Amino acid sequence: MIARPWAGGKKTAGGHLLFRGGIARIFRPPLLQGNKVEKEKHTFSGDGAGPAPESGPLDLAYLNLVKLKPGTVVNERYRLETLIGQGGFGIVFEAFDLTLGSRVAVKFLNPKLTGNQKKFLRVKREINLSRKISDGRIIKVFSLESWREIHFLVMELAAGRSLKSLLEEKGRLDWPEFKAVFLDILEAVAVLHGSGIVHRDLKPANILIDGASRVKILDFGLAKEVDDAERTSTVGEIVGSPYYMSPEQIRGGEIGFPSDVYQLGLLLYRTLSGRHPFEHTSTMEVIFKQLNQRPERLAPVESGLPRFLRVGMEKALEKAPSRRFRDAGAMAHFFKKEKLSWLHQLFFSVARGPIKWGLAVLALAALLLFAYFATFGSRTVHLLRNDGSRLEAYNRCGVKLWENDFAPFAIFDSFRTNSSGPVSKGTGIASQYQKLDLGAGQAIVSLLAPPAELVFPPGESISSGALFCQRVILNQGGVVLKREPFLADHEYDAYDYIRVIKPHAVQWLDRDRQGEMRGLLTVQQYQSMYPSAMVYMRGLKKYVFTHPGTFDVTPLAGGDDSVSFMLFGINNLFSHMSFVAEIEFSVANDNDQLIRGIPNFNPDGRRNILFEEKLFILPFRSRLIENRWREEGRARFSELSRGDIVEIDRNGQMILHTKDGMVSCRDPQDVLRRVYRLFNSSFQERLIKQNPQNALALIIEANSYPLQNPYLRSALLFAQGDLEIGLGRYAAGEKTLQQALAVFPGNNDACERLCEMEMLRGDAQAALQRLADTRSDGSEFWGFSSFGVQLFKGYLHFHSGMFSQAEAEFERIRLKVPEMKGFWQATGDLFKGNYAAALAALRQLEKLPLGAVDLRELRLLLGRALLLDFSEERRARFLFEDIFRNSLEYGHLAEISTCYFLARAGRTAEAAKAAREAFARL
């Protein structure tokens, strides 16, 4: 028997929601795509039974509250600022508590509510219940007060947006998108149930989601304690919203925790399906369906619902309270497991109706199905096979489950890993991207390498990651969950190289205590100077060390909190010296990590190589002859050109065995840290800030320390001499470079720079003589071991106009590096004025995968050929502008080339000024 009809269809402004629109807009959770605060629609006010009192002066005063001006002070304490909304229960303002200096919500209660003893009793209970709970997901009510005979609540001002307005905007949500929010709702209601409280009005309008996707449970006006002897509703009185009422609520019976469970099931159904399970234009029809009908079962494809989710929803929506979850805590436990055996599903299906016949046949069929799915019909991936670009998955019995083709990329390796946590859907700042939940099973990871024959796309920017090696994450069914450039979010271009990398080697270590796969991957860049990166993979997490050169890795200690490695290789930006470094990653947290080798372009100093005292500079072209670093923290090396032996240990001790005897040296750790950071800052001043004067000052300061390591001293002296020559101080630069060679005669870069200095002066014969007199090792020049000297001589002849001699030198290279033929041929044709021939050679070269030619040099030469040939001006502009924006080393050369466009347009004065400024920066 229903004592009072509902006010169906009445529209309100969301009086039950306490939020600030500004905060919701600024801290919008990833789940909420819109920032518009929608008005809430309440089809049922939830008022108690009995006739409503007639309107009087107090009702009129209450209705006039919406006209209060901002700044009105209530009870000499609460300054009203913004009207948030009004509804059946009250009018809500955002206010400022002048006493405590905090922002609150002030909710004036409808006199029709406070004038009814039973209704007002619920309001008082709301305050008492709220004070019992300290959980942050439950809205707090601070006090009940009165102003001008109108009662009002002082409440927590919560930021966010109601689930109802979100659903009105989006229609429905997928389970992966809603999962974290729903589990938070379950846990919040479980806190209520743990305190003996039944909410009784759980609906989307009473669920608030804040800027971090955290949940707030609103509106305790209908809540009651289970063991409360004082009843605030009688038989026949209905309290709640008709679309979100349990059958026992409609009947006016005893209401317990299962009533909230039923409402949570309705809320989940509405969110995932986009419709109410008992939707109808007639309120009485809705009530009839709530009492007598089961919800229409959602199809498996709807929202991508897994089996456990559909079963759990049906259990929550049972008509009999005893067949539902006993409370929200049990419901949360079920949904967190995300697993449901076929046996549990069978028992659940049988429990929904009487067993009339065929149970034995059903059990036998189930047993046969179990045997089949446990063997040949199993969908669990046991074996992965890589076949070129195809990934194939097999079960334990060798039955092929699925395959994926990633052409034109080739599969470098694949592995299975525990999907213990979510991964980001995108890249960027961690707080700004959504998470991709992989569920509780295992995930499959494939590492893809670009095909060797694939050239860099002509229309792509050099900053593009079009040819990055990629990581693909799949579920057990072979569905691709995420495909991403493997190192796109690790700023691999921190050394001014183009972002094209390929896998080099992978080493599988073991599994950690949690059974998580651990691997070690090294990648190298091509079409440039081969910087490398080491990637320590722990399941889906990546810990990356990037470095401007090549190196080998030796794993050291590894545990649950940290993992360390010893690296040995060559640093292309540190005078091409060899180095040894010991680095350590903290793996206790779930975040990806990045460490950059020195030098780099990270101006704030963070994420540079850690423990600089464990970075040792060794002679050029060292060879590791004994590695006891893992066991004893020491290693021995031989310097190939002179035969010197170098021994180092973890504590910083270095012993040199030369033909002149043995020398022991050791540099203080604090000195090493300062020197390395000065070198790094100098590198950034020179290339990023374009201030070579400051760069030189920093290197001079680094050279002021009394360092004992001769290789480190020689490398720093080379850096100083290189800067001095770049500033036009040839005499000072030559002297400094000679000092670098005196400290370490094998400093190849110092020899090269002395030769280049003569070329900068325009004296080719002096450069050739210097090359013959000062070379310490004729097999290396400009980083090329087989043809570097011929390459230098060829360019020297080109700059001197001796084209036949240049062609002779390049012809010697052609047999070793065929792609160099097209490059030097195009360069020669440009010098001779044969622009069409140069263009033909460069366009042919652009179609080849490059190894010895830097893509930036190729594009710079191609742009100049297009410019001089008066063809494809738009492409030439693109090439120059792209290099200028994305390359510190070649940017100024591209900038100077763009001055020709101004001159060609007749703007010669502007072109001359721009060229002078560009040359000054160069």
Q: Is 260 a catalytic residue?
A: no
Taking each helix axis from N to C end, the angle separating 835-845 and 855-868, rounded to the nearest 10 degrees, works out to 150
Question: Hey, what are 910's tokens?
Answer: 């502007």
Q: Of 449, 392, 381, 389, which is closest to residue 417 (Cα–Cα)?
A: 381
Element (H, E) at 896: helix 891-904
Query: What is d(CA 128, CA 496) in angstroms, rounded to the nearest whole number?
Result: 64
Give the torsion sign (CA, 789, 790, 791, 796): positive
Helices then strands, each counted (H, E), the chain: 28, 34
State the Cα–Cα distance between residues 389 and 404, nearest whole angstrom: 8
Q: Is the peptide bond before 408 cis (omega within 30 degrees of 0)?
A: yes
CA distance 416 to 126: 51
Nearest to 166 by CA among 199, 215, 104, 103: 215
Bridge partners (DSSP) listed for residue 402: 393
Distances (CA, A) of 345 to 138, 307, 308, 444: 34, 9, 8, 27
Q: How far is CA 863 from CA 146, 526, 571, 860, 922, in A?
A: 79, 21, 31, 5, 19
Tokens standing for residue 17:
């929601």
The structure tokens 């489950």 sit at 401
Contact 597, 546 (CB under 8 A): yes
> Of 687, 783, 661, whose CA–CA distance to 495 is shortest?
687
List Cβ neighbours of 805 (8 Å cut-off, separation of 6 or more).
Answer: 793, 797
Structural Rg of the chain based on CA atoms: 37
Side by side, which strands form the sheet with 207-209?
161-162, 207-209, 215-217
Nearest-CA neighbor of 540 among 562, 516, 520, 571? 516
- Is residue 31 packed enough to be buried (19+ CB in 10 Å), middle (13-18) or exposed (0-12)? middle
Tokens of 46: 């939830």
Strand partners, 461: none
551: tokens are: 């190196």
Residue reference for tokens 């796309």: 457
Angle formed by the axes of helices 818-832 and 835-845, nearest 10°: 160
562-570, strands of its sheet edge to edge: 551-558, 562-570, 578-586, 615-618
Sign of CA dihedral 114, 118, 123, 124: positive
In the structure encoding, which two tokens stand for residue 913, read together?
């000024």
Please tell me which residue in 47, 97, 174, 201 is annotated as part of the active site: 201
The tokens describing 852, both together, are 């010895």
Report DSSP state, residue 783.
Answer: T
Catalytic residues: 201
